[in-house]
Chain A
Amino acid sequence: MKLIIKNGHVIDPANKIDEVIDILVEGEKIFKIARAIDAKAETVIEAAGKIVMPGIVDMHVHLREPGREDKETIFSGTKAAAKGGVTSVLAMPNTLPSLDSMGIIKTLKDIIKKTANVDVFICGAITVGRLGKELTNISVLKKEGIIAISDDGASVDNDELMLKALKEAKKEKLVVVCHSEDKSLSGQGVVNFGFTSTRLGLKGISKESEYKRVGRDIKLAEESGAAVHIAHVSCAESVEIIRKAKKNGIKVTAETAPHYFSLNEEDLLGYNTNMKINPPLRTKDDVLSIIEGLKDGTIDAIASDHAPHTESEKEIEFEYAEFGSIGLETELAVSITEIIGKSLLTWGGLVEKISLNPAKILGIDKGTLGSGKDADIIIVSPEKEWVVRKEYLVSKSKNSAFIGRKLRGIVEYTICKGNIVYKSN
């Protein structure tokens, strides 16, 4: 099977490509990138005026299977991914049961093989049941194919245990994804602590509960030499701590999610539970700091923290509602709207954050369009506008913080390992 993408504006920062050029795909791989490729192919896609870039590598996705198939499945989640231009996802381990044993990972791999629409990589749990008490058998999980470990949703509170996990991860060459939250400080909070929590009459989550734990996780990274990745950075103080650590040569990377650079706590004033997320939407100043962190490289990656929840878990009283927003279908458009639209980064810069850097952090050969690489390619209409509507979402859950928002950028084609897995209509 051959496929040619003609006349698209190709963005591939790994190979410093930012020009109108053709791509020839053969089977699962990219065969050639060159001007005016003249070859016979079964499929020819005319991409004049479109952006052609490596598929998104979303390193923070909750697919909920096994255990909560009512919220999302590997099938539905990866269908949403394909629609959003995401060709690789890292599946987080807070499933039921959690991804903490050889057996469950074997089961999951089987489901992925049978039902996934894009590439799914697995993040194993750090501790058994994600309870923070006892380490999982990390080397066994690694042999089963996990590429990272995390207790996402929780942080390993015990410093010694976390250090032990980091040392183990270093031995196994696994990145450790940290949900940096000190629950003894965030407590029963549901929105950012400050004027907004006062105004809404809701319990607050302090920034301290985040950045203090970011500080600890980085200190342990230094001590162990392990690759530590800070998930969903939401506040100015965390950005500053990570910036300093990087300056001091500590091996740490960081991600933020689209809602942290496009929304702020004041968007919550109507008690929209789809915007109830953890960490919470912060202040306008924090949003500026996140953007600064993206610009100066302190924050390496953009990931969705796609967190599906059913209507009965979301369309209820604010304090009872679950935390989280879905994000696979909107992350690119939000990024184009906020980052490209406001000239905060170049297209190359955005592709680094959303495709190339996450692949590098995870140590997978993705995020680039070099010849011989997996043909994970998306074709995007960068100027087309659309409004996020519940009925258009293909994710099993509809809890998007962006419902009603006008966004720029539509994915026209998603190609995963040479197969067209999504085509807009």
Chain B
Amino acid sequence: MTKKKTAKWVHKDLLGLEYLSKEDIELILDTAESFREILDRKIKKVPALRGKTVVNLFYEPSTRTRVSFEVAAKRLSADVINIAVESSSVKKGETLNDTGKNIEALKADIIVVRHNCSGAATMLARNVNISVINAGDGWHEHPTQALLDMFTLRGKLGKLEGLNVSIVGDIAHSRVARSNIWGLTKFGANITVCAPKILIPPGIEKMGVKITDNIDEALGNADAINVLRMQFERDDMKAFPSQLEYFKNFGITEERLKKAKKDIIIMHPGPINRGVEISSEVADGTNSVILEQVTNGIAVRMAVLFWVSQAKL
């Protein structure tokens, strides 16, 4: 991280990639590259956030995202506090704003919030003066996931401009899809979203994406494919055909990949449902970067924590 870039970052919070410029995203990805190197060192710790406190405020159970943020904060020498709130009791318990203000009063510096409601991070950020990082809000955005996806793609292919990226799965209910679309389109990547028609949200073409319900078309000239986790336990999925049917029509299998580019990159935000949206062979195969994504996630989250902590309040 070169000092002269400090002046460029003006955001107290990271709420979504819709609200960042291409330059903001580049700054995070470049910074993440420096941090990525640190992760391969023997001593994986830098003092950038020493004396700062990061609170992971999670209203949804998500071990992987929480742990990733926790590791990232600790690598930066921050103190980390984890708060898990049962989302079923949210309506009765303390309000999100009150919880946020309490955390602020405890003199924490950054709140990392995961919430089942879209807009929760935005609301929290409006009501506290300390930094808020959105670790996923409802169906709205999951900016650090998209940043780590972009970081992984850039690392593999050297650039994001002009790449053909297909996102396959439940687009309607996916914050990962939305953040990836906002982020990648800012770099001029060509995005195709692929899902059964009822899982395509209205007006998504206005985000600058192509829509298809044909998986072979989505794979056709894709440089990379982002496979979303399917959640059949959702209430509004009851009208949906079976898991088996989904796998038959949209599952990513070796058979299907025969028609795709040989070196197509397979990404997945995890946790994966083997045999539901992706076959085990593909998930564990040579095109898969799923585990690299996990490592890159730490570097990207270190960069995000670093930059929001630099924002002048």
Contacts and interface: CB of A to CB of B under 8 A. Distances in A.
B206 interface: yes
B202 interface: yes
Contacts of B118: 200-202, 271, 318-319
B87 to A, nearest CB: 10
A201 B119 CA distance: 8
Interface string B123-162: 1001100000000011111000000000000000000000
Given A201-B178, A202-B118, A195 B96 contact: no
User: Is the contact region of chain B dominated by helix, strand, or loop, or is it mixed?
Assistant: mixed
B13 to A, nearest CB: 12
Contacts of B204: 195, 198
A249 interface: no
Contacts of B74: none
Contacts of A365: none
- Which residue, A196, A198, A204, A317, has most C-beta atoms of chain B within 10 A? A317
Interface string A181-225: 000000000000111111111101000000000000000000000
Given A312-B95, A318-B123, A197 B202 contact: yes
B208 to A, nearest CB: 12
Interface string B157-175: 0000000000000001001
Give the contact-size bracket for chain B. 20 to 34
Given A317-B119, A318-B117, A318-B123, A198 B95 contact: no
B243 to A, nearest CB: 24
Nearest to B91: A320
Contacts, number: 72
A316 B93 CA distance: 12
A315 interface: yes
Contacts of A319: 117-119, 138
B241 interface: no
B115 to A, nearest CB: 7
B140 A201 contact: yes
Contacts of B95: 312, 315-316
A270 B120 contact: no
A271 B203 contact: no
Interface string B203-246: 11011000000000000000000000000000000000000000
Given A201-B178, A318-B123, A195 B117 contact: no
Interface string B171-193: 01001001000000000000000
Nearest to A318: B119
Given A315-B97, A316-B95, A204 B202 contact: yes
Contact of A317 (B117, B126, B139): B117
B202 A317 contact: no
Given A201-B137, A312-B95, A317 B201 contact: no
Nearest to A269: B18
B120 A201 contact: no
A312 B97 CA distance: 10
A204 B118 CA distance: 13
B280 interface: no
A202 B120 CA distance: 12
B141 to A, nearest CB: 7
A127 to B, nearest CB: 28
Nearest to A317: B117
- Which residue, B91, B139, B141, has most C-beta atoms of chain A within 10 A? B139
Contacts of A196: 203
Interface residues of A, number: 21
A200 B123 CA distance: 13
Interface string B93-108: 0011100000000000
A197 B201 contact: yes
Contacts of A204: 202
Contacts of B77: none
A182 to B, nearest CB: 18
A271 B201 contact: no
Contacts of A200: 118-119, 140
Interface string A223-267: 000000000000000000000000000000000000000000000
Nearest to A202: B118
A199 B207 CA distance: 9
B122 A201 contact: no
Contacts of B119: 200-202, 271, 317-319
Contacts of B115: 317
A145 B140 CA distance: 49
A149 to B, nearest CB: 33
Contacts of A273: 123
Contacts of A198: 172, 178, 201-204, 207
B123 A194 contact: no
B33 to A, nearest CB: 30
A273 B122 CA distance: 12
Given A270-B126, A320-B90, 20 more contacts: A194-B202, A195-B202, A199-B18, A201-B118, A201-B137, A201-B141, A202-B118, A202-B138, A271-B118, A271-B119, A273-B123, A315-B97, A316-B95, A318-B117, A318-B118, A318-B123, A319-B117, A319-B118, A319-B119, A320-B91
17 contacts: A193-B202, A195-B202, A195-B204, A195-B206, A197-B201, A198-B207, A199-B203, A201-B137, A201-B138, A202-B119, A270-B126, A316-B97, A316-B123, A317-B90, A317-B119, A317-B120, A318-B118
3 interchain residue pairs of minimum CB distance: A195-B203, A201-B139, A201-B140
